Each structure stands twice: as structure tokens, then as C-alpha cells.
Amino acid sequence: SQATTIATTPFADQRPGTSGLRKKVEVFQQRHYLENFIQSIFDSLEGYQGATLVVGGDGRYYNREAIQKILKIAAANGVGRIVIGQSGILSTPAASALIRGLTAFGGIVLSASHNPGGPHGDFGVKYDVANGGPAPEKVTDAIYARTREITSFRIVEAPDVDIDRLGETRVGDMRVDVVDSVGNYKALMQTLFDFDRIRDAFRSGFTFTFDAMSAVTGPYARALFEEELGARPGSVINATPLPDFGGHHPDPNLVHARHLYDLAMSDAAPDLCAASDGDGDRNLIIGRGRFVTPSDSLAILAANATIAPGYRKGIAGLARSMPTSGAADRVAERLGVPLYETPTGWKYFGNLLDAGLVTICGEESAGAGSDHLREKDGLWAVLFWLDILAARKESVDAIVRQHWTTYGRNYYSRHDYEEVASDGAHALIDALRQRLPTLKGQYLGGLEVATADDFAYHDPVDGSDSQHQGLRVIFADGSRIVYRLSGTGTAGATLRVYIERYEPDPARQHMATEAALANLVSLSREIAAIERYTQRAAPSVIT
């Protein structure tokens, strides 16, 4: 099999967003679209010749076709070896774990995460570096620059690899190993949590429902929860990964996993309901009668971390994305460890984790993780909760309430105005950005503005700076409204508005979130004139 060079022309729209390049499947199916992007990755890297790369995805439509192309392009570019999950399946955290476990050069993860799949759904490609984490901006910028200039790609002509069969084969001179998708990840989880303790809890009647949402976590969840830990068979629902996720939106939030919320609030509620997203890096945690916001979940995991064997030594520090609530800050303060506030997206945690500055990180968007790998990790968060529940032998609700009594409660909500016209959304942000300097000291809705700024991040490890990471209006009482545009969407623009209020008084910690935030919610719409710019009077999704 000979490597050939094929002439191509650039596409103008291959800029990676918050988490890789995400587009409609039809966009990826354009002639040379995927080839250009993969070749641009190689053109931007140095030292991959002869090295090992990990490849896998969440099993969505176009996963298999993409893998065959990637194998042939990698072989033509001189990659030494590719390790693929069986049938092309690797959850995002499992891919991260595998890159680290093999000390591979990097990896290519095929996913559009929580976005719908299928022939008319979304597809995505993300490059992970040697630490197992998403490529930093420096790398994604270089890849994007290359996509704008590319004139050819290299590919070998070879038969397709049978990716369903475990074992070793070759594409051209490159070795290909098809490996079990679950084993390495499962072994890592066993080093972090007390599986005997969780097994005992299930044996004593602890009840649990995990919804894999017909996405990638099904095989992992079955192996871990049912086979290894003894949860009742059938505890894992929607356990078979489907290329179109059964036509659903594999986003574990209160809208797309509503049935799970309803179950948790019903008389038949199990002790714990949980779910993960398309690629397995997000988590949803709902106890009997109690939804745990992702920001609270992060804080509670951190506060209880030493219960789990993997964190017995304590934690070095915490990090959260800027829009994530300040609940974790209070835990860090009490533990006497630093708290880092980063821009949205897991790639910003990589340096902090590599440098040992933080142990646990999280995002309000249902992402939590730790230094065990370099992505957020849905099943890790669920196992962490199971371990804490097994050790404390209290309900989720009791643990959450006790946490608020100790630390105060951060009422929190995110309003998404999805798929609005891109021009209007950008105009809204531009206009508000202009006004920020004038807001300080003003009274809005009876609240004094303490600061209003455009969040920028200085990475303390590599010294890099990231500008324009979200507009913040922070009030004197600590309440906050944050505005930013999504970097993962594939149609129009999505405006995210994050609303938060801190309540230290235990007597006032049990209001409905909508009631507690009502004033701030109307302010959020007025301050940015959301309806004027987006033609939307209300958000499409509230989480």
C-alpha cells in the first residue's frame, strides 16, 4: 500500500470551538472535509512519526467512516501505531485514560458530546495531547491556521480495518491495535473508589438507576455498576450505544433527561438516579427528591473527597470554570487550598492538573473530574457519589442540605437562548461589553453593581492569556449574572446566561430556585436587552 498525495482546497470554517471541531454530519461528509482537518492536525504537530495515537469515539453516526479515513491518513503521515477502542468506541474520559496509560503521543476523539447524532445530527473531531487532555489553544489555533492554507493531504490506499475484531493488524506500515474499550478505564476506577463498600451498599438494598441515554457509557456502566458492583440487572437503562442515540438529545439535564427527574421525584424513586451524555464526560446526579446542581455536586465531592481511597491524602486545590457557581470556592476556603477560576472548557484545567496545583475540577455544565485523567468524567462522578453515599449512609438530600448549612447555598440557574441569529447574539455581547465600564456603582433592580468586566484568564503555568471569556456583572451582595456565547453549537448562536445568588442563612436555603432568582432573572434580560437582540422573550432551555 502506497501513500499518495491528493490535492485539496481549504474550508473556511474549521476553527475548533470550546471542545474540538463540531459540525453537522453533512458538513463532515463533504468531499475532503474530514481529510483536510486530520491532515491539518498532523501538519501542526511535530514528533508524531513512529509514535502511538489513540482513536475512538462515542459511536455516533459517521464514527466508523471517520475512523477508516483517519487510519489511512495517519499511516500515510508516518504514525507508528494506532490503538482503537473496539467498534470504534471510547468514551471521552476512557480515551484520555488510554492516552495516559499507553504514554501515547496523543489521540483523536470523535464526538459532538451532548449534541444529537444521526445522519442529520452533529459530528465532531477533537485532538487530545500527550497528557490525555484537549489540545490547548496554542495547538488548536495552529490547526485552524493550517486548515486555511492546506493544499494537499496524504493517504494510503488500503482495505478497511475490521474494527469490531480485537487484536493487531496493519494499515500500510502502521500497526493498528483494536482493544477492549472498557478494561483500562474500569481498572483506573478501581484504584480510586472503594468498590467493596459500594458492593456492600448494593447488597444491603441501595437502589440505583443509571441512564446511558443510548450513548457511549452503556458498556462502561454495565461493566462497572451491574457486573462489578452488583447493582440489580436493569439498573443501567438505554445501555446500547446507538448511532443516533435513539433519536434523543444525549444531554443529561433536566430537559433532556426529564424522565429521570420525574422518576427521582416519584414514589418509586431509587436512592440515586444518574446519567451521562453522548461521549460520557458529563454527569447528572439526582437523589430521591433532590436534584443536585452540577456546581453543588462539584463542591460536595470536594468537601467529601477524602472518603474515597483515591483522594484520601486530601486535595491540592480546586478549579472551576468562571460561570460555575462559587460553591466550590467556599469549600476551598475551608480546606485552605487554592481555587482557580478558568474560562469555560476543560482544556484550561490541563496545565493546572499537570502542575499538581489542583486535584478536582468542574464546570456548571455537568462536568466534574480530577487529576486521574485530563477530561471531565461522567462515570467517575457517579462512582464518587456512590462511594460517598455508601460511606455516609445518608440520603443525597440529607448530604446536600447539610452542605448548605455548613457552607451556605448558591442558588444557581443557567438560561440558554439556543439557535438565535448569530448577528443579533454578537451584537448583544458587543453592546453589553461597551457598557460594562459604566455599570460599576449603578443600582440595577435595587442591587449595586460591584464589578462588571470581560473575563480574561492568565494561565499561571504557561503564562498564556485568554481574553473575552464571558461578560460578568457582579453585585455587591455577591450575586452574579454572566453572559457568554456557546462555542459548541452547530447552528446559529446560543446565548448562555448564568444567574447566581449566595444565601448564607439556613432559614432561607429552601426556596424554589426560580423564586430565589426571580429578580436576577428579570434583570438578566433587561441588562442585556435580550429580547431586542434575540427576538426571544424567554430562554429555550433552563438548567
Strands 106-110 and 122-128: antiparallel
Q: Which is nearer to Co ion, 171 or 366 (CB)?
A: 366
Return the one option of Co ion, ligand VG1, none that residue 19 interacts with (CB less than 5 to 8 A, by type): ligand VG1
> What nine digits make up the cell of 59?
459511536
**Length in residues, the chain:** 543
CB 161 → ligand VG1: shortest distance, Å?
A: 26
CB 448 → ligand VG1: shortest distance, Å?
A: 29
Q: Which is nearer to Co ion, 19 or 39 (CB)?
A: 19
Under rule CB under 5 A, residue 113 binds Co ion: yes
Under rule CB under 5 A, residue 363 binds Co ion: no
Stated as kind and residue range, the H or E segment containing 275 is strand 272-275
Is there a contact between 520 and 501 (Cβ–Cβ < 8 Å)? Answer: yes
CA–CA gap between residue 349 and residue 342 (Å, rounded): 7
Name residue 276's amino acid. S
Under rule CB under 5 A, residue 184 binds Co ion: no
Question: Which range touches Co ion (CB under 5 A), out of 111-119, 171-179, 187-195, 302-310?
Answer: 111-119
CB 307 → ligand VG1: shortest distance, Å?
A: 26
CA–CA gap between residue 16 and residue 23 (Å, rounded): 10
Q: Which is nearer to ligand VG1, 20 or 106 (CB)?
A: 20
CB 322 → ligand VG1: shortest distance, Å?
A: 10
* One residue of 226, 281, 341, 459 binding Co ion per CB under 5 A: 281
CB 95 → ligand VG1: shortest distance, Å?
A: 12
Nearest residue by C-beta to ligand VG1?
113
Q: Which is nearer to ligand VG1, 41 or 198 (CB)?
A: 41
Q: In what order do the strands lie in the sheet with 174-179?
A: 21-24, 122-128, 106-110, 52-57, 81-89, 174-179, 167-171
From the candidates 113, 235, 276, 321, give the one annotated as an active-site residue.
113
CA–CA gap between residue 95 and residue 497 (Å, rounded): 31
User: Does residue 370 have an active-site annotation?
Assistant: no
CB 397 → ligand VG1: shortest distance, Å?
A: 26
Closest CA to 364 of 299, 458, 432: 299
Q: Which is nearer to ligand VG1, 376 or 403 (CB)?
A: 376
CB 298 → ligand VG1: shortest distance, Å?
A: 12
Q: Which residues bind ligand VG1 (CB under 6 A)?
A: 18-19, 113-114, 277, 281-282, 321, 344-346, 363, 365, 367, 486-488, 496
CB 111 → Co ion: shortest distance, Å?
A: 7
Site string for Co ion, 458-497 (x = CB under 5 A): ----------------------------------------
Q: Which is nearer to ligand VG1, 19 or 184 (CB)?
A: 19
User: 457: burial class by Cβ within 10 Å (0-12, 13-18, 19+)?
Assistant: middle
* One residue of 211, 226, 277, 341 binding Co ion per CB under 5 A: 277
Q: Which is nearer to ligand VG1, 231 or 499 (CB)?
A: 499
Return the one option of Co ion, ligand VG1, none that residue 18 interacts with (CB less than 5 to 8 A, by type): ligand VG1
CA–CA gap between residue 325 and residue 32 (Å, rounded): 42
Measured between its terminal Cα atoms, the distance across the chain in Å is 52
Return the one option of ligand VG1, Co ion, none that residue 100 interacts with (CB less than 5 to 8 A, by type): none
CA–CA gap between residue 225 and residue 219 (Å, rounded): 10
Number of residues that bind Co ion (CB under 5 A): 5
CA–CA gap between residue 400 and residue 543 (Å, rounded): 18
Is there a contact between 295 and 364 (Cβ–Cβ < 8 Å)? Answer: yes
- 3-class DSSP assignment, residue 512: coil
Closest CA to 332 of 357, 312, 354, 315: 315
Name residue 422's amino acid. S
Q: Which is nearer to ligand VG1, 77 or 488 (CB)?
A: 488
Question: Which range touches Co ion (CB under 5 A), out of 69-77, 94-102, 277-285, 298-306?
Answer: 277-285
Is there a contact between 296 and 399 (Cβ–Cβ < 8 Å)? Answer: no
Phi first, then psi, for residue 205 (nearest 5°) are 105, 10
Q: In the beta sheet, which residues pair with residue 24? A: 122
Q: What angle do CA 21, 27, 32 make, to 5 degrees?
A: 90
Q: Which is nearer to Co ion, 284 or 339 (CB)?
A: 284
CA–CA gap between residue 18 and residue 99 (Å, rounded): 21
CB 20 → ligand VG1: shortest distance, Å?
A: 8
Name residue 527's amino acid. I
Name residue 414's amino acid. R
* One residue of 35, 279, 377, 387 binding Co ion per CB under 5 A: 279
CA–CA gap between residue 92 and residue 120 (Å, rounded): 22
| Interaction site with Co ion (CB under 5 A) | 113, 277, 279, 281-282
Catalytic residues: 113
